Chains A and B, each alone.
Chain A
């Protein structure tokens, strides 16, 4: 128990936040108007908000279901899977940014300002979750080492 208390606490909080993000993506999509607050922007179109939100929601559920008996390998793998699902959504959000940033409106390529502007906030929930989901790698390494 003791050794993984920190991990449980961490993934517990991350799991709750992720579930909340997922639910709000679905709610925003159902509502129809996009939502923006600080650096957060929740998408509202069917594919990204609906389908993507569903995946974020499940990523959160994966985290939460891994908490009980966290150190056991099958339980821990659920936390890994939660992170992988966030990586899928966030990775493709970033990929979409990259592909949008390069071509220009007039002329072949975007201006430098336009290019950089694409990467400015606000970000989708998945991208905001991304750095926090990477913590799982630390625990994978730790497990490999032992």
Chain B
């Protein structure tokens, strides 16, 4: 240890004078196109186009596998087969694993091996693959930091800076890696705001996939409610949480051609991760909810919670089952909601509630790893948000005359 900061820079000056010569740098076409993606006037339409591309690919790709093949595979072949071969019709095990013996599709059967497998593999897996493929390409090309610069001003309003877009977008795939990624934010305040917003308002890829399948028409409204909530809560948290929100400090790397090897490897890791984290929980979630139904717990809870559910939030009491499932997996919860008869505004409200009311167990554990104090804070914020925002959505519905 010896040099002060200034001395060190002096030395660097000397060294670089001796060794580095800067030639005349002419802007290449790549730079010029790169600049367009950062300047707001041109960058915002481009970002909107990128988002469109992501969404459109997601819809077509997932639709191809789910509606094109998995629905008929599961409903016409797998379901009748397992309904007929599974022993002990009417017994507990049958109820848990196969579900309703009269169901003619895998959404309404509710069993671990019927709804559970169908949701995890038939619906969510294609969605996850589609999402991660595009995400990986955007990452490797180098678009993310540009998006960060572009959106910087807006995110400052909620106590974050442009770079928060990276955890936010990762979170659209899965909240678990996104929580870890929030470490790139500098202050504790920023990390807390980020983790809380992720856990509450960002739906994960699995949930997006299932929404695209079961409520394609009203999904847009759900997303708008979540987006508005993200900014309102961020704005409030920024005001009430002490701490600093420093400026963005970022190098924008040059655009690159993505390398197949890397894309393949990243896809592989993320999909294996999905199998390890998601599938066991989907199956477990199905089993738990079925046991609770059979034991009468759900009916009892629906009764007890009725004033809150149908009174305050304006959703059917039966949603208590999916709300329990949502502790384990959001995708499962949304699928179960879709089997409950209700109006489309009730559906919007209840899907928003399922999204915001509790992070799934895997996310919960991740936030716990970042520190239990932050977790307690997040949960407190969350309870208040669910109560108030849920009520607000109901109120909006009443005012619009649709609830």
Contact = CB atoms under 8 A, between A and B. Distances in A.
Contacts of A77: 29, 32-33, 35-36
Contacts of B33: 77, 80-81
Interface residues of B, number: 28
Contacts of B42: 62, 78, 81
Contacts of B60: 92, 95-96, 99
Interface string A60-94: 01100000000001101110110001001101100
A73 B69 contact: no
B246 interface: no
A interface: dominant SS: helix
A106 to B, nearest CB: 9
A25 to B, nearest CB: 13
A54 B48 CA distance: 9
Contacts, number: 82
A58 interface: yes
B68 A85 contact: no
- Interface residues of A toward B: which range? 20 to 34
Contacts of A32: none
Interface stretch (B49-57, B111-119, B158-166): B49-57
A61 B49 CA distance: 14
Contact of A102 (B48, B55, B68): B68
Contacts of B63: 99
Nearest to A108: B69
The 7 closest A-B pairs by CB, nearest first: A103-B68, A77-B32, A99-B64, A58-B45, A92-B56, A96-B60, A99-B60
Interface of A: 46-48, 51-52, 54-55, 58, 61-62, 73-74, 76-78, 80-81, 85, 88-89, 91-92, 95-96, 99-100, 102-103, 108, 140, 143-144
Given A46-B220, A88-B49, 8 more contacts: A47-B55, A62-B45, A77-B29, A80-B29, A88-B52, A92-B52, A92-B60, A95-B57
